[in-house]
Amino acid sequence: MAAPPPCCQGTKELLVDFDETKRTKITRGKKRGTHERQKILDILAAAKVCTVSYLHNGEELRVVPQLFGVHEGWLYLHGSVSSTMFKNHRQDKQAEGQSADAEAGAVVKTKMAISATLIDGLVLARAHMHNSVNYRSVVIFADTVHVITDKEEKDKGLRIITEHVLKGRWDDPDARNPNKAERDSTAVVKIKLSECSAKIRTGGPNDDKDDMKNACWAGDVPLYRVYGCPNADKTTKGRRISVPRYLRSAIEDSRGASGMVVANKCLFRASASDAQALPCTCHVMIGQPRIDMIVCQSASRP
């Protein structure tokens, strides 16, 4: 069994897989479905954005993309206090006869569905109806949202979200923490991870037997999430501020995980005999003893 992530060490309940519920039961593609906690946490750790669906005024469906963070069995979200989603929580509380000032630590009843998806590759089949993608996805259901107004708890939630986007950023001594005005204008909520499921697809196409005779290229094309070269703004360039170590580490780790390196020039290669140098910096994917594919950032094939 894999070691638990640092956030879960010493917390027994966070090592238990999620129970299957009526809403998280996998009905199609059951072999791809899972309720394993570690797999679900790994997918959430790799994703930067989730999609939040909720009922506005109890009947109107709304959907919004959100940055998020995960810590010790909770998913954290943040946004403007004037946004519809976060105003929705205050309206629900007031509808129950409680004032907005009484929200500290409040549990608001609201139905939400949250999803996050990572696309890992294209799957090209011999028949168009069998084309697909390799992916990892998570779906989370919730009936309640915990509204955070306590200063320390709100800063904790903002730190968790910031660190999820880029580890080490919150602790950068040269970056400013939220001030009172920013904190007051920002809503932070957390959702308990209790009803969760994931689906994962890997491998190549599943063609019909009769289509195997077709002279059509079939297989899968991996896709990678790789950090590019940082672009400093004008002030940063003028002050000659160097790229921080945590950002360099994130860039190097992303390229190492995907098998990519940075080249000073690139070759656009359509075939073994077709190669032309292009004046740009790009990521070169090394998959075999030779260069298999070029992913060029700033030039196209002439």
* Res. 156: pLDDT tops 50: yes
Read off the pLDDT band of 72 (50, 70, 90): very high
In three-state secondary structure terms, 175 is: coil
Segment 158-167 shows an average pLDDT of 98
CA-CA distance, 24 to 117, in Å (whole number)?
Answer: 16
Asked which of 178-187, 215-224, 226-235, 266-275 is least confident by mean pLDDT, the reply is 266-275
pLDDT value, residue 101: 40
Task: Give the DSSP letter of residue 97.
Answer: T
pLDDT value, residue 6: 47
pLDDT value, residue 23: 95
* Res. 289: pLDDT tops 70: no
Residues contacting 81, CB < 8 A, separation 6+: 87, 184, 185, 186, 187
Segment 189-211 shows an average pLDDT of 97
In three-state secondary structure terms, 31 is: helix
In three-state secondary structure terms, 74 is: strand
pLDDT digits (tens, 9 = 90+) for 96-136: 444 344 344 688 888 999 999 999 999 999 999 999 999 99
Give yes or no for a contact between 140 and 117, defined as CB atoms under 8 angstroms apart: no
Average pLDDT taken over every residue of the chain: 81
